[in-house]
């Protein structure tokens, strides 16, 4: 083990100043790479997720870049300050920060990053009903979206990676607000529930008095009411046993696996957090990426079962993902993402909370399932609704 190294110099120039990874880019590794890992990035025009054509340079350590994404509740407590990690898995060779140093706040407010932040966030909203929540694109599109967001945060600070929130381990008590919890009200947390009358969040770094949602995309109708981050915590996410049952679905039943992951886990948990997360601008909620990190991790865990699991379904889709020039097959392998980036999810270490489905003797409790609001927000087709309702029975205690 080695201590993390901050802004480690490569030939005297700090990674932080040279790592110009722009969000909304498609990385094209090429022969331009030199011994310091310089990659020329060609930018493409046309799509929403990509900016007008120009070139920029991404400098990597001599090895390919590794992004390690940890569980948000496993990362250091606010008092700890830093987290010890293995140098061989350090993000971009420059270390990794605990979530207490999560840079979302800076990306969303600092004028240097804000335009790119707003634009990226709004891409999700613009494309919400354009295929990104349907089977052929849902998993790969959101994997790519997390990568773009990860890249944006690394422009703010090259040590940052997006953590994931494993809500199954805390299913029995998901919205606790202790100092080491995600929803803690201090500067290290994400703040707690929204409060009446508008459901605006009034605690933590994203509280109404100091933070607001990105402006709606150009041309979108103006929206009444405050542009605060809203939450309406309700219910319990699927527990550990339920997630394990999803992970055990056989290869030949990939469509069942995808549907359960997308609807019964992803859609439902969006609306358990409620407020902004249960709306078409859900990506404006900083916790969006923590939830999607976990959805992506579940897909990755399933893919790791065999090469056939890794390569099922998506490599045959001959359609670029909405708003991009990237095919699903290009993001299928988490260890080989666009630009030569390798991402890994660390397995969670935090204790499982009571009633979250651990141990033989432990009582499980029923958790929340699909309801009318979720169906409406995510435009779930009636055939999928009946299938999801039927399959939900195999997940519940
Ligand atoms: Cu989405």
Sequence-distant (≥ 6) Cβ neighbours of residue 208 within 8 angstroms? 200, 201, 202, 226, 228, 229
Separation of CA 141 and ligand 1 centre (Å): 8
Separation of CA 79 and ligand 1 centre (Å): 33
What's the average model confidence in pLDDT over 203-218? 89
Alpha-carbon Rg for the chain, nearest whole angstrom, is 20
Separation of CA 118 and ligand 1 centre (Å): 16
Share of the chain above pLDDT 90, in %: 51
| 362, part of any domain | no
| Degrees to nearest 5, angle at CA 247 with 242 and 273 | 50
Give the dihedral sign, CA 372/377/383/385: negative
| 46, part of any domain | no
Q: Has residue 280 got a pLDDT over 70?
A: yes
Beta strands in 236-377 (DSSP E): 342-345
| 340, part of any domain | yes
| 242, part of any domain | yes
With bands split at pLDDT 50, 70 and 90, how would you rate the model's confidence at 241? very high
Q: In terms of pLDDT, which residue wins out, 59 or 211?
A: 211
Residue 263 has a CB neighbour count (10 Å cut-off) of 25
| Degrees to nearest 5, angle at CA 81 with 4 and 143 | 65
- The pLDDT of residue 163 is 84
| 159, part of any domain | yes
Separation of CA 24 and ligand 1 centre (Å): 16
Share of the chain above pLDDT 70, in %: 74
Separation of CA 170 and ligand 1 centre (Å): 23
Residue 128 has a CB neighbour count (10 Å cut-off) of 19
Separation of CA 265 and ligand 1 centre (Å): 13
7-51 tens-digit pLDDT: 222 222 222 222 222 222 333 222 222 222 222 222 222 233 433
Q: How many domains does the chain have?
A: 1
| 360, part of any domain | no
Separation of CA 142 and ligand 1 centre (Å): 6
Cα distances (angstroms) measured from residue 329 to each of 18, 66, 317, 320, 352: 30, 19, 8, 9, 34
| 99, part of any domain | no
Separation of CA 311 and ligand 1 centre (Å): 22
Separation of CA 284 and ligand 1 centre (Å): 11
CATH number for the domain that contains residue 333:
1.10.1280
Comparing 119-128, 158-167, 292-301, 369-378, which segment has the lowest mean pLDDT?
Answer: 158-167
- The pLDDT of residue 358 is 81
Separation of CA 121 and ligand 1 centre (Å): 10
51-104 tens-digit pLDDT: 322 223 333 332 456 777 888 877 644 333 333 333 333 334 454 544 444 567
What's the average model confidence in pLDDT over 192-204? 95
Separation of CA 256 and ligand 1 centre (Å): 19
| 183, part of any domain | yes
- The pLDDT of residue 217 is 82
Separation of CA 153 and ligand 1 centre (Å): 19
The two three-digit tokens of residue 219, written as one number: 């041309």
Distance CA 118, CA 292 (A): 18
Separation of CA 197 and ligand 1 centre (Å): 27
Separation of CA 2 and ligand 1 centre (Å): 37
Phi, psi dihedrals of residue 59, rounded to the nearest 5°: -110, 125
Separation of CA 290 and ligand 1 centre (Å): 12
Distance CA 183, CA 190 (A): 5
pLDDT, averaged across the chain: 77
The two three-digit tokens of residue 286, written as one number: 């900083």
Separation of CA 149 and ligand 1 centre (Å): 13
- Bridging pattern class, strands 66-69 and 342-345: parallel
Separation of CA 273 and ligand 1 centre (Å): 15
Domain containing residue 336? 67-90+107-192+234-349+367-395
């Amino acid at each position: 083990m080695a201590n993390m190294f901050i802004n480690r110099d490569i030939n005297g120039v700090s990674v932080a100043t040279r790592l110009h990874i722009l969000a909304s880019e498609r990385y094209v590794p090429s022969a331009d790479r030199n011994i310091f890992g310089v990659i020329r990035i060609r930018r493409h025009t046309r799509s929403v997720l990509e900016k007008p054509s120009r070139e920029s340079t991404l400098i990597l350590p001599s090895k390919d870049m590794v992004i390690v994404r940890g569980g948000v509740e496993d990362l250091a407590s606010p008092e700890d300050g830093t987290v010890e990690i293995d140098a061989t898995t350090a993000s971009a060779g420059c270390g990794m920060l605990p979530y207490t140093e999560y840079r979302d706040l800076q990306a969303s407010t600092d004028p240097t990053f804000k335009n790119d932040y707003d634009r990226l966030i709004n891409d999700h909203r613009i494309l919400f009903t354009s295929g990104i929540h349907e089977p052929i694109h849902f998993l790969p599109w959101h994997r790519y979206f997390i990568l773009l967001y990860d890249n944006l945060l690394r422009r703010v600070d090259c040590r940052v990676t997006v953590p994931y929130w494993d809500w199954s381990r805390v299913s029995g008590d998901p919205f606790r607000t202790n100092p080491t919890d995600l929803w803690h009200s201090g500067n290290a947390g994400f703040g707690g529930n929204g409060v009446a009358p508008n459901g605006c969040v009034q605690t933590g770094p994203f509280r109404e008095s100091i933070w607001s949602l990105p402006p709606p995309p150009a041309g979108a109708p103006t929206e009444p009411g405050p542009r605060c981050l809203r939450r309406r915590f309700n219910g319990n996410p699927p527990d550990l046993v339920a997630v394990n049952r999803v992970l055990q679905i056989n290869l030949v039943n990939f469509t069942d696996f995808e549907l359960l992951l997308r609807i019964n886990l992803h859609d439902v948990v969006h609306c358990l957090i409620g407020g902004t997360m249960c709306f078409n601008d859900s990506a404006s909620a900083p916790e969006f990426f923590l939830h999607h990190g976990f959805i992506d991790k579940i897909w990755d865990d399933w893919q790791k079962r065999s090469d056939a699991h890794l390569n099922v379904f998506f490599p045959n889709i001959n359609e670029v993902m909405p708003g991009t020039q990237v095919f699903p097959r290009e993001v299928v392998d988490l260890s080989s993402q666009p630009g030569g980036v390798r991402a890994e999810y660390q397995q969670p270490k935090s204790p499982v909370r009571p009633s979250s489905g651990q141990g033989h003797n432990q009582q499980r409790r029923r958790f929340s399932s699909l309801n009318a609001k979720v169906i409406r927000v995510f435009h779930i087709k009636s055939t999928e609704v009946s299938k999801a309702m039927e399959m939900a029975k195999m997940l519940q205690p």
